């Protein structure tokens, strides 16, 4: 079972918004781009509320199926008299295997049997909503467009599901829905002590589950309750604090706990520093994670007479420290960047492996926003590892360092209102409540709505108010006609010659004038590659006349290879057929499908099965362009 998209209606400042998710296994990272106060967090909250995982629900408390702070969901301008529904609806793809599992779950948990009206795979909508009348909350409800029948225990026939009986069917369906994990910024404030018992505040419970993930990753079956806490809470040790340590230390139970904790430390060392090395390219040998553990006196208890008495149940805790040579450092005493990344790797590395790969949507709100730009850029390099099938990652940002061009096809521009007075944060913060209308616009659509923009990337930079400075402009890149050329070239550079090529796409052969002028104004070399078709040759002559460009500064594909007119010509006929790139009606190459295939595989880091001839063409193009840009 997987999500295809989410529709959000009347949720706080969102009147109606839709976030579509790529159905491709190769494009699983989605970006929400917008200024502060634009509504990115509200969208993440709404998505999380649909199927919150048990861990982050402890902290966020978001759940549309429960009561929660239901009044906080009402649009602010209508708190007194809102009538209608606040809803989050998911479009879901369900397989035959999912249906079998749902029927088994219903039978095992309730004794009732469920059957589906249709066999095989289908797509349906599932909505969770709160109903209000004149500002009063009337209850929370669910509805689904998928047809089901129910046979209760003792019955012989299946009947249409309705009324209270819907609960059986809906509970079974929800049991298989992918969970949604929402990581707010404050959970990255790594605690000094992680209590494994007692101290049941939200953050302690959250980190306790993180620690259990570490134990599970080792596949030894160790459990916090069974192998640590229960040893400390044995009846022999349920005594007051002054006598506890002497008796516990003499028992040998501590050595058993040592073994469990040492295994956890080894697991973290192996996996965290491997990831650290992969992300930062640093040699982490000589460093290790050690996990000291100890016991604190438990809280006072109330005895049988109702009188406060000294504690007899005491609380275990662990700490995380980094050992390097003869030095040991508490994680919380290290730099902000180290703490953030250490927590991030803990959350994701071990969570991804939980529950035998059960699908999870990871939501990150402004990740690493307070870190150095280099750290931000390193962070997004780790996202594809988290978002491997069946997982998905959605993150919000207003930093251009956190925007990866190859993910723009899955990106959304988030705007705060339909009648924004401007992109000023101050203006947005004082909007009349009723005028607030958080919108999520697919980036591809946003580009089409801004036809005057000079490059495919510029609308992003405009929206988050990024302006070039002398420190930003270090080298020129190759200006390409459009995004198809960009994604094919970048794939060739990264996956075939495995080198960097600096390039950026315009929005058509006739739109390069402003880009050429900017490069001239910044004192950068101008390098342009156009298609070798009639339009490309015509525009080359025009740009040479208007900007006095030499033949070394502006080229066409056909000048690199006479058989190449457009980027699709680099693919041989066998690849075109096997990849299904031809339109059935006219036999022409489907440019959008070429774009999708190269962009999706570029995102996932997976290779496209290509012939030797196609690979050599792509290699020749990438090597030529790389030399041209140097």
Radius of gyration (C-alpha) of the chain in whole angstroms: 29
> Residue ranges per domain, the chain?
189-336, 468-629
Assess contact for 128 and 8: CB atoms under 8 A. no
Of the listed ranges 214-223, 263-272, 415-424, the least confidently predicted one is 415-424
pLDDT digits (tens, 9 = 90+) for 605-618: 788 999 999 999 99
Res. 385 pLDDT band, cuts 50 70 90? confident
Tell me the C-alpha distance between 441 and 31, whole Å: 11
And the tokens for 108? 């095992």
Mean pLDDT for the stretch of residues 487-506 = 88
pTM of the model: 0.77
Assess contact for 17 and 32: CB atoms under 8 A. no
255 three-state secondary structure? helix
Asked whether the predicted pLDDT for residue 351 surpasses 80, the reply is: no
Nearest CA-CA partner of 180 in 73, 46, 74, 65 = 46
Range with the largest mean pLDDT of 266-280, 469-483, 529-543: 529-543
Q: What percent of the chain has pLDDT over 70?
A: 88
Tell me the C-alpha distance between 452 and 518, whole Å: 15
Asked whether the predicted pLDDT for residue 501 surpasses 80, the reply is: yes
Q: For the chain, how far is it from start to end, CA to CA, in angstroms?
A: 48
Tell me the C-alpha distance between 492 and 470, whole Å: 30
179-183 and 2-11: which strand pairing? unpaired
Cβ-proximal residues to 239 (8 Å cutoff; 6+ apart), any chain: 247, 312
Asked whether the predicted pLDDT for residue 424 surpasses 70, the reply is: no
Res. 420 pLDDT band, cuts 50 70 90? low
Cβ-proximal residues to 336 (8 Å cutoff; 6+ apart), any chain: 370, 371
At residue 125, the pLDDT reads 96
231 three-state secondary structure? helix
Phi, psi of 215 (to 5 degrees): -65, -40
Assess contact for 52 and 66: CB atoms under 8 A. no
- DSSP secondary structure letters along 108-170: HHHS-EEEESS-S-EEEEEEEEEEEETTEEEEEEEEESS-EEEE-TT-SS-EE--GGGHHHHH
And the tokens for 201? 């505040």
At residue 67, the pLDDT reads 47
pLDDT digits (tens, 9 = 90+) for 188-242: 778 889 999 988 887 888 889 889 999 998 889 999 999 999 999 999 999 999 9
Q: What percent of the chain has pLDDT over 90?
A: 38
Asked whether the predicted pLDDT for residue 474 surpasses 70, the reply is: no
At residue 236, the pLDDT reads 94
And the tokens for 46? 């709404």
Range with the largest mean pLDDT of 56-60, 187-191, 434-438, 534-538: 534-538
Asked whether the predicted pLDDT for residue 329 surpasses 70, the reply is: yes
Mean pLDDT for the stretch of residues 325-345 = 80
Mean pLDDT, the chain, whole residue set = 84
Res. 471 pLDDT band, cuts 50 70 90? very low
- Across 291-397, where does the E strand assignment appear? 293-296, 301-302, 308-309, 315-318, 321-324, 327-330, 360-365, 392-397
Assess contact for 385 and 69: CB atoms under 8 A. no
Range with the largest mean pLDDT of 26-30, 322-326, 383-387, 539-543: 539-543
How many helices, marked H, and strands, marked E, lie in the chain? 21, 26
Query: Which has more confidence, 58 or 347?
Result: 347
At residue 154, the pLDDT reads 80
**CB count in 10 Å sphere of residue 110:** 16
Mean pLDDT for the stretch of residues 413-427 = 60
Mean pLDDT for the stretch of residues 465-494 = 74
Mean pLDDT for the stretch of residues 29-37 = 89
At residue 246, the pLDDT reads 92
* CATH annotation of 468-629: 3.40.50
Asked whether the predicted pLDDT for residue 84 surpasses 50, the reply is: yes
Res. 280 pLDDT band, cuts 50 70 90? low
pLDDT digits (tens, 9 = 90+) for 144-186: 999 888 888 888 888 888 777 888 889 999 989 999 989 877 6
Instruction: Estimate to the nearest angstrom the gap between the alpha carbon of 284 and the chain centroid.
Output: 27
pLDDT digits (tens, 9 = 90+) for 305-327: 888 889 999 999 999 998 888 88
Nearest CA-CA partner of 295 in 263, 327, 331, 254 = 254
């Amino acid at each position: 079972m997987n999500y295809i998209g989410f529709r959000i209606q009347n949720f706080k400042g969102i009147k109606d918004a839709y976030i579509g998710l790529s159905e491709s296994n190769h494009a699983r990272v989605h970006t929400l781009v917008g200024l502060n106060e634009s509504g990115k967090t509200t969208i993440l909250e709404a998505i999380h509320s649909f199927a919150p995982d048990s861990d982050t629900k402890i902290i966020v408390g978001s759940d549309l199926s429960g009561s929660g702070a239901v009044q906080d969901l009402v649009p602010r301008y209508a708190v007194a008299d809102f009538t209608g529904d606040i809803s989050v609806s998911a479009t879901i793809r369900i397989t035959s295997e999912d249906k079998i599992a749902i029927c088994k779950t219903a039978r095992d948990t309730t004794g009732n049997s469920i059957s589906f009206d249709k066999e095989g795979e289908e797509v349906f909508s599932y909505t969770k909503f709160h109903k209000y009348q004149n500002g009063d909350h009337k209850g929370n409800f669910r509805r689904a467009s998928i047809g089901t029948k129910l046979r209760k225990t003792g019955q012989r026939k299946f009947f249409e599901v309705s009324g209270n009986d819907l609960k059986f069917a809906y509970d079974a369906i929800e049991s298989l829905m992918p969970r949604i994990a929402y990581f707010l910024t404050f959970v990255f404030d790594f605690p000094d002590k992680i209590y494994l018992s007692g101290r049941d505040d939200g953050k302690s419970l959250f980190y306790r589950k993180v620690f259990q993930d570490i134990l599970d990753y080792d596949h030894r079956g160790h459990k916090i309750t069974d192998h640590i806490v229960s040893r400390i809470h044995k009846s022999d040790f349920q005594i007051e604090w002054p006598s506890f340590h002497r008796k516990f230390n003499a028992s040998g139970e501590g050595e058993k706990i040592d073994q469990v904790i040492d295994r956890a430390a080894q697991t973290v060392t192996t996996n965290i520093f491997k990831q650290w090395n992969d992300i930062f390219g640093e040699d982490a040998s000589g460093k290790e994670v050690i996990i000291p553990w100890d016991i604190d006196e438990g809280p006072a208890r109330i005895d049988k007479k109702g009188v406060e008495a000294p504690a007899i149940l005491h609380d275990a805790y662990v700490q995380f420290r980094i050992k390097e040579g003869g030095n040991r450092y508490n994680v919380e005493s290290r730099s902000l960047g180290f703490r953030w990344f250490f927590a991030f790797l803990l959350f994701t590395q071990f969570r991804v492996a939980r529950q035998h790969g059960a699908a999870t949507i990871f939501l990150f709100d402004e990740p690493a926003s307070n870190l150095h730009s280099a750290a931000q850029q390193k962070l997004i390099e780790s996202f594809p590892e988290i978002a491997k099938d069946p997982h998905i990652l959605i993150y919000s940002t207003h930093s251009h360092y956190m925007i990866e061009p190859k993910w723009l096809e899955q990106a959304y521009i988030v705007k705060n209102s339909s009648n924004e007075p401007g992109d000023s944060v101050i203006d947005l913060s004082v909007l009349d409540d009723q005028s607030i209308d958080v919108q999520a616009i697919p980036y591809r659509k946003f580009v089409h709505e801004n036809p005057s923009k000079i490059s495919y990337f510029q609308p992003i930079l405009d929206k988050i108010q990024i302006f070039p400075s002398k420190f930003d402009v270090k080298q020129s890149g190759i200006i390409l006609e459009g995004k198809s050329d960009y994604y094919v070239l970048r794939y060739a550079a990264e996956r075939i010659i495995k080198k960097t090529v600096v390039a950026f796409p315009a929005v058509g052969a006739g739109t390069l004038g402003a880009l050429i002028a900017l490069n001239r104004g910044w004192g950068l070399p101008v390098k342009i590659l156009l298609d070798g078709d009639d339009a490309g040759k015509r525009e080359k002559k025009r740009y040479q006349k208007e900007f006095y460009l030499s033949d070394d500064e502006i080229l066409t594909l056909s000048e690199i290879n006479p058989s190449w007119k457009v980027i699709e010509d680099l693919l041989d006929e066998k690849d075109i057929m096997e990849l299904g790139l031809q339109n059935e009606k006219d036999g022409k190459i489907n440019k959008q499908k070429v774009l999708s295939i190269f962009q999706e595989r570029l995102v996932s880091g997976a290779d496209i099965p290509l012939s030797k001839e196609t690979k050599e063409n792509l290699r020749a193009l990438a090597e030529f362009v790389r030399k041209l840009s140097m």
